[in-house]
Amino acid sequence: MPIDLICLDADDTLWHNETFFRLTQARFAELVAPYADEAIIPDRLAAAERRNLAIYGYGVKGFTLSMLETALELAGDDLPAAVTAEILAAGREMMRHPVEPLDGVPEALAALAGRGRLVLVTKGDLFHQEAKLAASGLGEHFSGVEIVSEKHADLYARIFARHGVRPERAVMAGNSVKSDVLPALEAGGHAALVPYPLVWAHEAAAPPHAHPRFRELPSLRDLAGWIDELD
């Protein structure tokens, strides 16, 4: 069955993202360590992130607010204004960080563009994701961009329909089993996992290796070859 629509994730699929979150988390732990047991800081921050997803959504802005909330919970009135300012500065730095495409991504997109229409499907803050796509220089490869609050089967079904293809003629590729693979398969499409070395715990899930419409690939450069096999 030919593939007509190729949907791609952005963060940690086209460019580095989780690396910057990990570096900022480490800096946050250093800032609040004088006011709390270092062993509990990562878990308290992760709990705040999960709690706030339904309010702030995904992205740097929500993460920054979660850092501030966690710092106040841990330090209370002892939290200096200078630490608050440094946390805000760390969030701004993440927003301004240069976009670094992963190795081989431009070449992979050029190859994929000859095999179907490319649509970017990414979670996160609208302003920041648009800015990252523009800064990446990769936008010219895509015929559509979908910036969404959450990825689920109904969303993928709507995207497939909006772009005029049957689910079995669409593929979604990304680094998250939870967001890019499982819901795309549930919607009737194909799905490829392109792992990134770092995985946010919220996105962790077991790959469905036995599923006939799933493939785990070493890199995005291998997606075109799998699509050729499907065709």
Same domain, residue pair 139 and 206: yes
Domain boundary among 62, 96, 130: 96
Same domain, residue pair 172 and 114: yes
Q: Is the pLDDT at 125 greater than 70, yes or no? A: yes
Q: What is the domain count for the chain? A: 2
Same domain, residue pair 11 and 29: no
The reported pTM is 0.93
Asked if 219 and 194 count as a contact pair (C-beta separation under 8 A), the reply is yes
- Find the mean pLDDT for residues 141-147: 97
Domain holding 84: CATH number?
1.10.150.240
- In the structure, what pLDDT confidence band is assigned to residue 231 with cuts at 50, 70 and 90? confident
Determine what percent of the chain is predicted with pLDDT higher than 90.
Answer: 96
pLDDT in tens, 166-177: 999 999 999 999
- CA-to-CA distance for 82 and 103, rounded, in angstroms? 38
Same domain, residue pair 166 and 146: yes
Q: Is the pLDDT at 1 greater than 70, yes or no? A: no
pLDDT in tens, 60-97: 999 999 999 999 999 999 999 999 999 999 999 999 99
Determine what percent of the chain is predicted with pLDDT higher than 70.
Answer: 100
Same domain, residue pair 23 and 90: yes
- CA-to-CA distance for 65 and 87, rounded, in angstroms? 9
**pLDDT on residue 27:** 97
Cα dihedral angle (11, 17, 22, 28), rounded to 10 degrees?
-110
Domain boundary among 76, 96, 116: 96
Same domain, residue pair 113 and 168: yes
Q: Is the pLDDT at 199 greater than 70, yes or no? A: yes
**pLDDT on residue 2:** 87
**Domain span including residue 105:** 5-15+100-230
Nearest CA-CA partner of 17 in 177, 202, 199: 199
Same domain, residue pair 117 and 154: yes
Same domain, residue pair 66 and 110: no
**pLDDT on residue 135:** 96
pLDDT in tens, 17-66: 999 999 999 999 999 999 999 999 999 999 999 999 999 999 999 999 99
Same domain, residue pair 120 and 212: yes
Mean pLDDT, rounded, of the chain: 96
* 3-state secondary structure (DSSP) of residue 98: coil
Domain boundary among 55, 79, 96: 96
Same domain, residue pair 137 and 222: yes
Q: Is the pLDDT at 202 greater than 90, yes or no? A: no
Helix, strand, coil abundance in the chain, percent, nearest 5: 55, 15, 30
Same domain, residue pair 104 and 178: yes
Domain holding 206: CATH number?
3.40.50.1000
Same domain, residue pair 180 and 114: yes
